[in-house]
Amino acid sequence: MPVAERAKQPPSSPSRLLLPPEAYRQAVDQADLAISITDAKANILFANEAFARVTGYTPEEIIGQNESVLSNHTTPDSLYKAMWAELSAQRPWSGKLLNRKKSGDLYLAELTISPVVDAAGKTTHFLGMHRDITELHRLERVVRNQKKLIESVIDSAPMAFALLDQNGRVILDNQEYKKLVSDLHVKEPAHTLLDSLLPNWAEALAQSPEQCAFANREARIDRATGRPRWLSVSASLIDIHSDCADSYFCAVGQPGLLLAISDVTSLREEQEKARAAALQAVLADEERTAAIREGLSAAIFRLEEPMNVMASAVSVLQRRDPASAGVLQQALAASREHMESLRQVIPQSPQEIVVRVNLNEILRDVLEICTPRLLGAGVTVDWQPAATLPPLLGRPLQLRMLFKALVDNAIEAMNIKGWKRRELSLTSAVRHDCIVISVFDSGPGIPEEWRHKAFEPFFTAKNGSGKHIGTGLSRAQQVVADHGGIIDLDESPSGGCAAIVEFRLDGDPI
């Protein structure tokens, strides 16, 4: 062949020139995978040693036999039809068949068959490769059965479970947890509960997961409709192994957070009934004491005015009639002593310790206590609480007296003869690191020029005079101030009065 023609020929593969043909036969014969070669009718022409180990047939026994000798005849016909459809189209087929060994034992074979096509495009042989996956199949079924068993147990458990990954995503839950989604009307109850019990949980789970573990913490979930729910939550860390291929040789896990959520509403409701009854008695007693305190304070306040006039008169009379001025001075001094004695018997406000308070619970208590009066006045209540509120450091009795005073004022404002629209709205929310409580009524409202006077002692809007003996909202303002908050009056959306109270989350009661 001329040199120019040889240059046009493709270069020969060095591996084909160096590898003897016998090496192919030895490689196939000694491979650990069962390999067989059949003619176009599936008659076995060659079987390697691994084929003999898997099936129990020696090459001498199996050569000349049809591949169907291995079949247990329990494989569905549809599977064979699909297999031959692929092979007839000269496409390889892979699947699983139930085969029988020479000993009669059954085994599950994972099989791949490839057509061997000659230069004319005709299928002359089939190359079959298969392995015994009976044990692998058994283990897969064991794992699958255990998974179903665990899922069944978890789904039938009376408590909710939720597993969160390190990013806070819920990757596993049960039926009770799904019920919470619909009952609480939130996308992820786990996030709502953690926000209430552990506000910095997302950051802690990503950086210091051990801080997220806790046991038997209770959260109260308030809903606009329906009764509140009390849920007991326990959080524990578990190790989640990655299923990525690159983690095969380094089994480094990521922390997951498992929440176990129990509904303790029934227990808490029974306790709340007993507590509400006791609370109502305490509030009634405190209201009576406050009425005495306010009445005596009002009397002293009213007596101060004429006594101040008398003191001025004594000063004038001293120059004209010293004797009469002396008698009047003695009477004035005696009166002041009596007033001081009267001031000493004024009941003192109860001293409360500062505790962590849930304002939703406070408002619920107030509404329950005020229910008879609300029904008597025909007032419709719209209660719109935040699902959860962060705890506030405060004095529970004072806070209940505060909001009861606001609700009582709202009822009184609407309880006017002939006034048809009687609606009371209470909302709680968290805004800009503050807990905001709003009390709206649909009454006649309060004139703008009276809004600041309303917090003065002994002010009231009764009879439209703006003057009445009584403390009005001054005591309510004092309670708010003692808790580091502010209170303001405005016009409600319905045209009535809006009392808005704000407490800073970082504020400390005085």
Other CB atoms within 10 Å distance of the CB of residue 463: 8
Q: How far is CA 276 from the centre of its chain?
A: 28
* pLDDT at position 458 over 70: no
Residues 6 or more apart whose Cβ sits within 8 Å of residue 416: 443, 444
> Per CATH, the architecture of 353-510 is what?
2-Layer Sandwich (3.30)
| Average pLDDT of the residues in 316-321 | 77
How far is Cα 475 from Cα 294, in angstroms, rounded to an integer? 10
The most confident of the ranges 65-69, 298-302, 314-318 is: 65-69
Please give the model's pTM, rounded to 2 decimal places: 0.51
Residue at token pair 């057509």:
115
Question: What single-letter DSSP state applies at residue 381?
Answer: E
Q: What is the mean pLDDT of the chain?
A: 84
Top-level class of domain 157-240+253-263: alpha beta
> What would the two tokens of residue 237 be?
């860390």
The topology under which CATH files domain 3-137 is Beta-Lactamase (3.30.450)
Query: Per-residue pLDDT tens for 229-239?
Result: 899 999 999 88
* pLDDT at position 2 over 50: no
Q: Give the burial class of 148: count Cβ atoms within 10 A of its Cβ; 0-12 exposed, 13-18 middle, 19 or more buried.
A: exposed
pLDDT at residue 510, as a whole number:
59
pLDDT at residue 365, as a whole number:
87
pLDDT at residue 339, as a whole number:
78
pLDDT at residue 462, as a whole number:
57
| Average pLDDT of the residues in 141-162 | 86
pLDDT at residue 18, as a whole number:
65
Question: 45-54, 283-292, 392-401: which range is least confident on average?
Answer: 283-292
* pLDDT at position 262 over 70: yes
Helix (H, G, I), strand (E, B) or coil at 104: coil
The most confident of the ranges 3-12, 237-246, 380-389, 443-452 is: 380-389
> What would the two tokens of residue 433 be?
């690191």
Length of the chain: 510
* pLDDT at position 470 over 50: no
pLDDT, greater one: 238 or 245: 238
The dihedral of CA 82, 86, 88, 92: what is its sign? Answer: negative
pLDDT, greater one: 277 or 405: 405
pLDDT at residue 453, as a whole number:
73
Question: What single-letter DSSP state applies at residue 466?
Answer: S
Residues 6 or more apart whose Cβ sits within 8 Å of residue 468: 458, 459, 460, 462
Query: Per-residue pLDDT tens for 60-78?
Result: 999 999 999 998 888 888 9
* pLDDT at position 218 over 80: yes
Q: Give the burial class of 103: count Cβ atoms within 10 A of its Cβ; 0-12 exposed, 13-18 middle, 19 or more buried.
A: exposed
Q: Which of 480, 481, 482, 467 is nearest to 301 (CA)?
A: 467
pLDDT bucket at 467, cuts 50 / 70 / 90? very low
Q: Which of 49, 4, 6 is nearest to 29 (CA)?
A: 49
* pLDDT at position 10 over 70: no
